Chain A
C-alpha cells in the first residue's frame, strides 16, 4: 500500500468537502493544518530569516519536501515560497482535476505559525498558491505582517 497516496487521497476528500461548504473561506479556516508537527520541533531563530530557515530544515529533514526556497520582498510583507518535491502534490492534483484551485498548504501553515509563535507576528495570510504537478513545483505567496502597522503597506506583487 502506498501510504503517502492514501494520505493524499484522504486529505483531498477532506479539502474537497470543505471547499464545497465554505468556498473561499475554506483556506482561512485551515491555517492550523500542519502546525502540530512544527510545534513539536525545536524551531529556533531571532528573526524571520532564521525562523523560516529552521522551519525549512525540519520540513526537509522529515521528508515532507525535497527543496524549499524563500524570499521576502514587497515592503517586507510578501513571503514567496518555492516548494519542490512536496509529498502533498497529489492532493493538489486531485483537487485541480475536481475543478478546485488548491487552497491549503500545511508547509506554509507551519512557517506562518512559527512567525507568530516565535516572533510575535500580528497575522499572516496565504494569498496565492500555484501548484504545478508537471514541474513538481509549488509557488506560494504569503502575506506576513510583523506588526498591525504593516497592514496596508501595498505594492505591486507582479513586479516582485
Chain B
C-alpha cells in the first residue's frame, strides 16, 4: 500500500514539475530580472557601465506627459473597439440564435477573422484602406463619399485601426454570446409565451440575465487583449501620423528597441504589468464565479 502511494506521489511530481519549471524559468525569472534592470540605466545597445539609479526611471516615466497621452490613446482605443465589438457581436449572436439551413457554415465563416494573424490582417486592411486604389474608398465612392485618408488623417487613424480590430474581434464576442444564448433552456421562453410576455420583457428578464456572465467574460478577455494592442498598430500606422495611434505597447516597443533605453523600458513595462495584473485579477475572479455558478 505504502509502495503504491509513493509511486503515485512520484508520478504526480513527474507530471507537474516540468510545466512549473518551464513557467518559472521562462516567466518568473525574466520578470524578476527586468525588475532589477528597471532600477538601472542599462542600455542593451551601449556597453557602458551599469549604474544603480534607484527610482529615477519610474519617476521619469510617471512624470512624462507623453506617456499619459499614450495611456489615454490606448484607453480610447480599448473603449471604442471593445464597445462596438460588444454591440455588433451580441447583436449578431441574437440574429444567429435560431438555426437555419447552412447555419453551421455561416457561423464558422464569420469566425475566420479572429483566427488570422494580426500581421496578415493589418497588411491587407492597409491595402484595402489605401486612399487611392483601396477597395474601401471605391465602395464609399459609389455611395457618393469623397476620398478618405483612413490611415494618414490624424483625426481618423486611430478609428481606422479600431475598425480593423472590430472586424477581427467582433466574431469572438459573437461566438461567446452565441454559446450563452444557445444554452438558455427553451422552456423558459415557452413559459413566457403562455403569459403573452412581450419580446422586450423576455429579452430583459430571460435572455440578458442568463447570458450576462458570459458577456462579461468575453468583454474582459477583449479589454485585456486590446489594452496590449501592438501588432495592428505596428503594421498599419507605426504609431503615426505623428503620434496619434501610439498605444502604450507601441511606445514601450520604441523605448526598448529603437531608443534602446532598456532600464527605463523595464520600469515602464512594470507599470503596465501592474495594470494588466489588476485587469487579469478581475477576469480570474469572474472565471471563478462562472465556474461555480
- Chain A bound to chain B: no
